[in-house]
Structure 1
């Protein structure tokens, strides 16, 4: 009887002929006894050593070394030892492992080998469910194709499995275990009982749905394991960045969690990206099976073409940067993370920037308190409709619900932002601080004016254009305060997210403005911050009478 499933491999014949003619017909006929396997037969090996022995029994299936056995390098041994280390009872504590490194350091072969170890090797369990996951079918097929190539190059493995090419599924008759390739656009993460998962290039995932579905599908297994192998995501808000940041806390001892393991190869943000010593430090396979010549070639291009620099930093150095150059350097922004002392600011003079979003969008208010040294304490406020938090979280891939629960967003009832809540907060802030003036974009301001008037809130509002004339000096002042570390924003997560998204437009004269069209995601808070700082630099700090007011109306209630 033939093997089941569309595209299944043919069943081996009873005769002794070789039915898997690969690598010039050098394979042993499948009817011969299985070869001796060190990972199976040798006594005294630790759990990690058995996995390493299994990997070194697998063939290289492409490239100059095709047909040879894999050789696990010391740095790869460290990865395996970290994941498969056991406690005093012989159990493996690690349940989630993240391996993050630049591209082309052999992650696909390693991932395929680990998946095979759990399907039919030393980590296989009866009726296990092994999965590889990726953002799309093409990416998901990479590990599957590597696994199939390794299986076909091994007569014993070829005999004991059924490969269903159409479904990208592999069944091991000996253990009853199965493997399948999943993609996030397939929506197949529910109803599984995974024992082992490889998630390939999690940084490319548009949302965390498949990741969470697979993670929660492992609860019924005694020793489940998920391994994420990926370059870094572009920004701090991606959930891969959250995993890596958590892993660094575990490595540093700040957090005690033996179930989580992180291996991270990346260049520090302040490292010289063009120094070959930087390359070697974060590319463990460089000048081994990772081409140094290709690396040098792309680095030369990236050094000459600004648009390629971010790509080089992300994919070749594994730095947390986007492919499009951003306005604010992350290291410089993080150097301004001092938390303002709110109690010390009570009664002090401040200036505001107000960016009113559409009724279904984010609204931002930022107050800045100038000091005598030219610095600024920053207090941001954000509003968003409560009924749209989940929708916006899915669309923008940032944790709106978490931000709302922690008080970073004031969620207004319903599906549209009620400006009455904004006005109420403005009234409270006006009583707590000496608000000299608030810069605003005139879009939708009349509705806010009416509510300010109805509530009797007395504030000086200054119209602030969004073109180069008004925004260029504001952007310059904001940038200078960040570069000189004279900003104290307290690492507010939404403002930090906005800062990481910001891109500027530049006119022929070199003037700059923040561009909402070019920016990857929301920048409302940063626009408000720029307006507030620009206003504070422009304003004398003294309240003028209406007769001499030139930059905007006073509302007197």
Structure 2
């Protein structure tokens, strides 16, 4: 690995510092987590009011280390992926630097190990390098064993434990990371990554190591479909006992979505270091500003309370939408009455076809279908920063061969749905509908199509119905990730009379699925008013 280069010191300057015969982490009686803790607490603090003193881990930091580095009955550390999520300014960089050094040349090191820090940009990843370099330069004994190559942002171990190991800072250019064999990776602020490519490249590169460890330390991402959100959700299920996976660990410090954001007790839930090395006065200042300036509230909730909150105000509250995520049994709906909404995207965009099935208690089962061109799926995934390619593999998006949406392919799916279910009507946006009508005619399919205007006149009462259905838990959408994305992106605009409509031009991403769902719910009452509860039927007149 790393060759000596600009910034490296001469080998003749190394090996002159007398080492202690027994290091603190080599004291008898320590278990594996104890050795990691002892190593970290032998490192110096290099900045701030405590500069020059030894690092003293807090109990919450010790608990994280004990959970991650604990051994099983065979003497093996089972954890391979560790996630630590908390608000900003709680000392994550110093803890990550200490653990990276522990794997580089401390008790967790191995011969010719590869230790990496990863982040959105190389500058961000290099922040960990700077902290590690500062610690080494203030620790004469460890510094004597290392060579710091400043130009390359690398550290190489010359002798002693971890001999031949190298540390490097990596950026998000995943394509250049396929030849690595990491023994330890710390991914800083994974929640801000534009896609999952670098994470996947590093995670799948650890197979050659006996006990690799991927550690992700970040505040929460804003969207449910983000890779870091997926990790947090998976870890939550592991912690609750729903999943049995000893290779995964999550420590999450976050305020509940329904907690009072202005209560000091709420702040402590996401800031384990508050009142210690996390300034309570600074949090108070930001809370006061966010309370008076609505545009700052979302950032405060995300960065200070570590909540999964977008910086853009959502039309549908996430907690309400998630309460409607009960599973839908599509096979049990065969032959049942249903109503549809169709939002045809542009030739290269997402097309949405959503069916709603009225059931007992006025509750609608929602069955969505999504289409995208196959040839540009990777490009669209990167542009929109959502995993369309992964969702396609999972069966949530149907890929149409070619570079554009083939209306004939969509027509076949619509015709098959009309045969499988009792489709009463299909509301459509007039965009590109003539192409679809032509293809339906070619295959001899006669569908109950009904135009649905996208202006305030028709959309305003439909938006009211959607909002009420979500708020009163009158839909079951099954947690479809593409529909979840559309709901998260949706915003509405108002006309002077107070009417509302879903606005694609102002949305933070694609909302086609929610538009189709809105149309389907709206037309359902036009043909079977009793399908809706009285309160919703009244909204539609």
Given the two structures, how large is their TM-score scaled by the length of structure 1? 0.89
How big is the shift at 1:38? 4.2
CA contact (8 A) 1:39 1:122 kept: no
Equivalent residue for 1:493, pick from 472, 478, 481: 481
Which of 38-47 and 122-131 deviates more?
38-47
CA contact (8 A) 2:174 2:198 kept: no
Which of 222-231 and 508-517 deviates more?
508-517
Equivalent residue for 1:217, pick from 205, 229, 235: 205
Aligned pair count? 525
CA contact (8 A) 1:182 1:188 kept: no
Greater C-alpha Rg: 1
How big is the shift at 1:420? 1.7
Q: Deviations over 1:365-384 (max 9, x none)?
A: 11223457544222211222
Tell me the residue number matched to 2:132. Answer: 147
Counterpart CA distance in 2 for 1:120 and 1:95 is 19
Equivalent residue for 1:436, pick from 413, 424, 429: 424
Is 1:8 matched up with 2:11? no
Tell me the residue number matched to 1:226. Answer: 214
Tell me the residue number matched to 2:352. Answer: 364
Tell me the residue number matched to 2:81. Answer: 96
How big is the shift at 1:513? 1.9
Q: Structure 1 371/212 Cα, relative in aligned 2: closer, same or farther at 3 Å?
A: closer
Is 1:262 matched up with 2:250? yes
Tell me the residue number matched to 1:413. Answer: 401
Counterpart CA distance in 1 for 2:372 and 2:505 is 20
How big is the shift at 1:505? 2.4
CA contact (8 A) 1:382 1:409 kept: yes
Q: Deviations over 1:441-469 (max 9, x none)?
A: 11111111112223332233332222323
Counterpart CA distance in 2 for 1:216 and 1:182 is 16
Tell me the residue number matched to 2:533. Answer: none
Q: Structure 1 541/449 Cα, relative in aligned 2: closer, same or farther at 3 Å?
A: farther
Tell me the residue number matched to 2:538. Answer: none
How big is the shift at 1:494? 1.5
Q: Structure 1 252/455 Cα, relative in aligned 2: closer, same or farther at 3 Å?
A: same
Equivalent residue for 1:72, pick from 37, 57, 65: 57
Q: Deviations over 1:400-430 (max 9, x none)?
A: 3443344322322222222222222222332
How big is the shift at 1:217? 2.2
Is 1:105 matched up with 2:85? no
Tell me the residue number matched to 2:47. Answer: 62
Tell me the residue number matched to 2:493. Answer: 505
Counterpart CA distance in 1 for 2:347 and 2:174 is 34
Is 1:173 matched up with 2:158? yes
How big is the shift at 1:347? 4.7
Counterpart CA distance in 2 for 1:510 and 1:248 is 41
CA contact (8 A) 1:83 1:261 kept: yes
Equivalent residue for 1:350, pick from 322, 338, 346: 338
Q: Structure 1 454/52 Cα, relative in aligned 2: closer, same or farther at 3 Å?
A: same
CA contact (8 A) 1:368 1:376 kept: yes
Q: Which runs of 5+ in 2 are unaligned?
A: 531-541
Counterpart CA distance in 1 for 2:420 and 2:174 is 53
How big is the shift at 1:351? 2.5
CA contact (8 A) 2:43 2:54 kept: yes
Equivalent residue for 2:70, pick from 85, 88, 91: 85
Is 1:521 matched up with 2:506? no
1:73-472 alignment to 2 at 5 Å? Answer: 73-174=58-159, 175-185=163-173, 187-342=175-330, 345-371=333-359, 373-472=361-460
SS at match of 1:387: coil
How big is the shift at 1:540? 6.2
Counterpart CA distance in 1 for 2:311 and 2:355 is 31
Which stretches of structure 1, 4 residues or longer, exceed 6 Å deviation after superposition? Answer: none
Given the two structures, how large is their TM-score scaled by the length of structure 2? 0.91
Tell me the residue number matched to 1:26. Answer: none
CA contact (8 A) 1:133 1:181 kept: yes
Tell me how large the CA RMSD over aligned residues is.
2.3
Tell me the residue number matched to 1:552. Answer: none
Q: Structure 1 454/186 Cα, relative in aligned 2: closer, same or farther at 3 Å?
A: closer
Counterpart CA distance in 1 for 2:150 and 2:395 is 50
SS at match of 1:281: helix
Which of 119-128 and 477-486 deviates more?
119-128
How big is the shift at 1:345? 4.5
1:22-37 alignment to 2 at 5 Å? Answer: 31-35=16-20
